[in-house]
């Protein structure tokens, strides 16, 4: 395990971590689509789920 990566994340707020995680997950979806590992419909459905989950997390942070 690369400890340097963990150190970079340790200085981030919870919201920043959620945004970074979203970016990584979206990049994975993009790669799957580019390699035809998933259909466009699967990509769209998964991306919509990721976005909805991120929106819910941001709303929860805003409520604090």
Q: Which token pair is 23? A: 């970016």
- Quick: pLDDT tens for 6-52: 567 888 999 999 999 999 999 999 999 999 999 999 999 999 999 99
Question: Rounded CA gap, 63 and 13, in Å?
Answer: 16
- In the chain, domain spans: 12-63
Reported as a pLDDT band with limits 50, 70 and 90, residue 62 is confident
């Amino acid at each position: 395990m690369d400890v340097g990566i963990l150190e970079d994340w340790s200085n981030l707020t919870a919201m920043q971590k959620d945004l970074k995680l979203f970016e990584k997950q979206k990049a994975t979806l993009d790669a799957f689509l580019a390699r035809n590992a998933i259909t466009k419909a699967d990509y769209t459905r998964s991306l919509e789920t990721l976005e909805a989950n991120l929106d819910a997390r941001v709303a929860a942070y805003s409520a604090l």
